[in-house]
């Protein structure tokens, strides 16, 4: 359900039309990217504006990529001014914008604190990546500031989690890339929630963001082109199965057995692997969507033939395919990138065991495209430290 929206000035009478409330008693601006079309239509009506005005605004924002009310030429000056006062569009600043030689782009977005105190602290930031592949433009989106999972090999959780991103902040990451791609006649076609944070730990905001991204009158991105990646939160995986959206579910596995997984992923102490796999089977049964297992190969840690054989046994217990991702080193962490021969041998063992396994291309290796790298570098600069930025991103592009 969309969040409850602020109402107009109660002193307004029903015969007043075509303008927004002029007083300042609206408690907070409507976060445009946090509400779907129906909710925004209702807000316009509550402000005694005709319903079609909401459609005009969406046309400017989503089709023309114009989010400054003063440039919405088919709105009256009074309505433009009211919209600027009572509706918030972009609320972030682009702190960094990086371009890779392979076309990958990465943004570091920064948000200020809100008056309500419900949003991340002032200066909180999160990363988002755009990966081109043929006609597809995939956005890798963050759901939190930092990450609570603390995977031992990942830069995102090194400084812990600082807060949840709200639905509009999640959606705004996609909109920012649409603005960048617009001059070339392109826009984001696919979404993967594989950026900073554990999406299912921010479930309400995640689902509201997905509804806006999926809404035909907003971003109009098909549910089958949206992937939610989780380290494994069984109760939320089951809840996701009942959302009546054929979303793709990916599990960040990274180990074929419980002991090794607990060494690599601290959150594994809270959620047993058997429970996660059972929830994955439940998701497949309810949605018919095959599960993807994400498996980062760490040199000498989880990339040996015995690990591959264990993974084959695990995969036989559910309908799943496997994405093998070659690790790129993160400065200060004791993990290495696997040898090419070891990666191919691992894949061969999986395929010999009838497991659909793909080695994902590494993208953005010449920029800080690995999750959390750019944010970590910027935090280091602010603290007067020098933090090397290495790493890459390797993400599935969902058809």
Q: Which tens digits make up the pLDDT trace of 12-63?
A: 333 344 455 555 554 589 999 999 999 999 999 999 999 999 999 999 999 9
> 238-244 long-range CB contacts below 8 Å, 24 or more apart?
238/279, 238/282, 238/283, 239/203, 240/200, 240/283, 241/282, 241/283, 241/285, 241/286, 241/287, 242/286, 243/207
From the candidates 127, 172, 294, 377, give the one annotated as an active-site residue: 127
Q: What is the pLDDT of residues 280-307, one digit of tens each?
A: 999 999 999 999 999 999 999 999 999 9
Q: Spell out the residues 6+ positions from residue 220 whose beta carbon is closer than 8 angstroms to its own.
A: 214
Rg (CA), the chain: 22
Residue in 40, 36, 33 with CA at minimum distance from that of residue 6: 40
- Token pair recorded at residue 282: 């439940």
* Mean pLDDT score, 84-109: 93
Give the DSSP H or E segment for 34.
none
Angle among Cα 147, 148, 151 to the nearest 5 degrees reads 80
pLDDT at residue 392 above 70?
Answer: no
Q: What is the pLDDT of residues 138-158, one digit of tens each?
A: 999 999 998 888 888 887 666
The pLDDT of residue 191: 98
pLDDT band of residue 267 (cuts 50, 70, 90) is: confident
Q: Which residue has the higher pLDDT, 389 or 137?
A: 137
Q: What is the pLDDT of residues 202-254, one digit of tens each?
A: 999 999 999 999 999 999 999 999 999 999 999 999 999 999 999 999 999 99
Considering the entire predicted model, what is its pTM?
0.85
The pLDDT of residue 141: 97
Residue in 175, 60, 38, 124 with CA at minimum distance from that of residue 375: 124
Angle between helices 51-58 and 37-46 (to 10 degrees): 130
Residue in 194, 182, 190 with CA at minimum distance from that of residue 137: 190
Partners of 30 in the β-ladder: 87
Q: Domains for the chain: give ranges and CATH numbers.
A: 1-89 (1.10.150.530), 92-382 (3.20.20.70)
The pLDDT of residue 119: 56
The pLDDT of residue 366: 61
The pLDDT of residue 13: 34
Residue in 243, 247, 240 with CA at minimum distance from that of residue 221: 247
From the candidates 140, 147, 315, 371, give the one annotated as an active-site residue: 371
Partners of 131 in the β-ladder: 138
pLDDT at residue 121 above 90?
Answer: no
127 is catalytic: yes
377 is catalytic: no
């Amino acid at each position: 359900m969309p969040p409850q929206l602020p109402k107009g000035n109660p002193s307004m009478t029903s015969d007043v039309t075509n303008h927004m409330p002029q007083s300042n008693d609206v408690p907070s601006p409507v976060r445009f990217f946090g509400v779907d079309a129906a909710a925004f239509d209702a807000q316009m009506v509550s402000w005694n504006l005709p319903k079609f005005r909401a459609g005009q605004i969406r046309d400017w924002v989503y089709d023309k990529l114009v989010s400054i009310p003063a440039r919405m030429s088919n709105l009256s000056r009074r309505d433009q001014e009211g919209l600027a006062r009572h509706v918030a569009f972009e609320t972030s600043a682009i702190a960094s914008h990086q371009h890779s030689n392979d076309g990958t782009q990465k943004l570091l977005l920064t948000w200020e604190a809100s008056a309500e105190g419900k949003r991340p602290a002032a200066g909180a930031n999160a990363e988002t990546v755009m990966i081109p592949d043929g006609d597809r433009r995939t956005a890798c989106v963050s759901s939190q500031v930092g990450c609570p999972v603390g995977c031992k090999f990942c830069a995102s959780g090194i400084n812990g989690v600082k807060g949840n991103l709200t639905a509009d902040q999640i959606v705004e990451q996609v909109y920012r890339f649409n603005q960048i791609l617009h001059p070339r006649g392109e826009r984001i076609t696919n979404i993967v929630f594989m950026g900073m944070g554990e999406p299912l730990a921010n479930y309400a905001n995640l689902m509201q963001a997905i509804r806006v991204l999926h809404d035909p009158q907003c971003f109009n991105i098909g549910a089958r082109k949206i992937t939610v990646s989780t380290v494994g939160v069984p109760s939320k995986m089951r809840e996701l199965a009942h959302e009546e959206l054929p979303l793709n579910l990916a599990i960040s596995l990274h180990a074929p057995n419980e002991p090794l997984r607990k060494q690599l992923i601290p959150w594994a102490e809270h959620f047993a692997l058997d429970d996660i796999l059972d929830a994955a089977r439940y998701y497949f049964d309810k949605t018919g969507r095959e599960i993807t297992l994400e498996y980062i190969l760490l040199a000498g840690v989880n990339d040996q033939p015995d690990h591959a054989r264990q993974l084959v046994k695990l995969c036989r217990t559910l309908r799943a395919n496997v994405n093998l991702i070659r690790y790129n080193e993160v400065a200060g962490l004791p993990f290495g990138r696997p040898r090419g021969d070891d990666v191919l041998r691992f894949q061969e063992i999986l395929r010999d065991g009838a497991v659909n396994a793909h080695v994902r291309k590494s993208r953005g290796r010449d920029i800080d495209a690995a999750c959390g790298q750019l944010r970590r570098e910027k935090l280091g600069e602010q603290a007067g430290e020098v933090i090397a930025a290495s790493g890459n991103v390797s993400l599935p592009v969902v058809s």
